[in-house]
Every structure is written in structure tokens, then in C-alpha cells.
Amino acid sequence: MRKPILLLLSLLFTLSLLAQTRPPNLPHYDEKTIHFGFLLGYNQFSSLLKVKEPLPQPDKVVGMNIDSQHGFQVGVISDLKIFEYLRIRLIPTISFGERKFNFNTIDAAGNIKTESTNIEAIYLETPLEFKIQSKRWRDFRPYVIAGGKHAYDLASLKKKKISEEDMLLRVNNNDWMYTLGAGFDFYLQYFKFGIELKSSFSINNMHIAEEQKPFSNIIDKYKTRIFYITLTFE
């Protein structure tokens, strides 16, 4: 995770130096009431996980964890100006990712081994975000983001073809999340380029409890957490 962030910081520093040596680009850009664009991004699916205590079936499952997985996203930006320092954005987005659940199990001989199951995620997201901007400094303008979104997992359509016996655990298809982050806009000659770092967190428990399944019964609470590095073009 450190390498992508260091590369972004180096890019920000280089672009800010270039901005000081030339006349401002797009001087009237922020006077527009509405504008559009698109985004491309990297995401990392992780989780907020709570296991039941005491363990419901310690003779079968003795623990679990979830590995962070990498993915990407694409989306369309609709940006509406409220006043000089506040904009509101609707950003229909599709995000591709995966969640890897690792279960520590114990066999008849008392040996502990790890069993894993991957759950694919294809999120159709409809974020509504408030973008609070600072004053523009030449071709550079930082901002912070706060908002919420609904995400529907399109991969659930594939899961419907899997039998109940073969599915180790199930998670909800609908996710309500809040988002916090920050970014930097750079006004180039023909368009505005932005870099954002943000995270989204589930509000509701995504786990569907099934007491008859040991792998499902061990989970008390599971919430999705997604980290994004996004490039915007407007």
C-alpha cells in the first residue's frame, strides 16, 4: 500500500512545481454550474469483522480472518455547484473486487488447517458526495469529501446458481455505506485532473446468519470496508 501512496505524493509534488511556472489554466472553469466527467480507480476490499465469543462450535471452527483483495472501478461524474466552495456530485460507478474468507478448522486428529472461500464482488454503486473545496491556488485546489451511497452486488446473480449446500456462507446483496476522503484537483490545459484517496464503510451488518453452517455460524458481524485511489477527468 505504501508504494502507490508514495508515487501519488511524488506526482502531486511534480504537478505543483509545474503549475508555478506557467499562466493559470482554465481560469473560468469553476464558474460552471454543472459539468461532467469520468473516473478510473483502484480499490481494496477489506472488512470489519467480529467473531462470536465464545465460539459456537470450537470442535469444528476455531477462528477466521479476511484477507484484503485488490480490484478496480470505472464511473461517470455529474458535478453541481452549490456555491464557490461546495459542490455536490452523483457518481454512478461499477467496482470489481473480491473477498477472501479464511477459516481455521480442526480435524479428527486435532490438527488445525485453513480452509478459504472467495466471494466475488461486482458493486453497482450510486454515491452522492459533498465536495468541500479550498480556495484555488493557480492550477491546484485541494478538497475533502463526505457522503453516502448504496451498493448492489451484481455478482449475487451468479450466486443464485450455487446450491445452498455448496455455499459456505452468504452476505447481503445490498450495502449502505458512508464515505470520507480527500483529493487534489489540477487544472490542465484542456481538462481538470484529480486524484482522490477515500474509504467507504458499511452501515449495516452484511452477514446472513445460518446457524446450521459452521463457517457462517462463527461470524457475529461483518461489514465491508473499501479503500479507493481514484483518478478523475472532468
What would the pLDDT profile of 156-208 be if each residue is shown by its tens digit?
A: 655 555 555 556 777 888 999 999 999 999 999 899 999 999 999 999 998 88
Q: Is residue 107 assigned to a domain?
A: yes
Q: Is 109 helix (H, G, I), strand (E, B) or coil?
A: coil
Q: Is residue 31 assigned to a domain?
A: no
**Which alpha helices (H) appear in the chain, and where do they start and end?**
2-19, 156-159, 214-217
Q: Model pTM?
A: 0.82
Q: Is residue 226 assigned to a domain?
A: yes
Q: Is residue 32 assigned to a domain?
A: no
Given a contact cutoff of 8 angstroms between Cβ atoms, the answer to whether 52 and 220 are in contact is: yes
Spatial distance between the Cα atoms of 127 and 25, rounded to a whole number of angstroms: 29
Domain count, the chain: 1
Chain-centre distance for alpha carbon 66: 16
Dihedral pair phi/psi, residue 10, rounded to 5°: -65, -40
Question: Can you tell me the mean pLDDT for 16-37?
Answer: 79
Given a contact cutoff of 8 angstroms between Cβ atoms, the answer to whether 77 and 91 are in contact is: yes
Q: Is residue 14 assigned to a domain?
A: yes
- The CATH code of the domain that includes 120 is 2.40.160
Q: Is residue 193 assigned to a domain?
A: yes
Q: What is the pLDDT of residues 116-162, one digit of tens each?
A: 888 888 999 999 999 999 999 888 899 999 999 999 998 865 555 55
Cα 140 to Cα 82, 87, 135: the distances in Å are 20, 17, 9
What residue numbers bound the domain in which 222 lies?
2-26+37-233
The separation between the first and the last C-alpha atoms of the chain, rounded to the nearest angstrom, is 27
Cell numbers 458535478: residue: 79
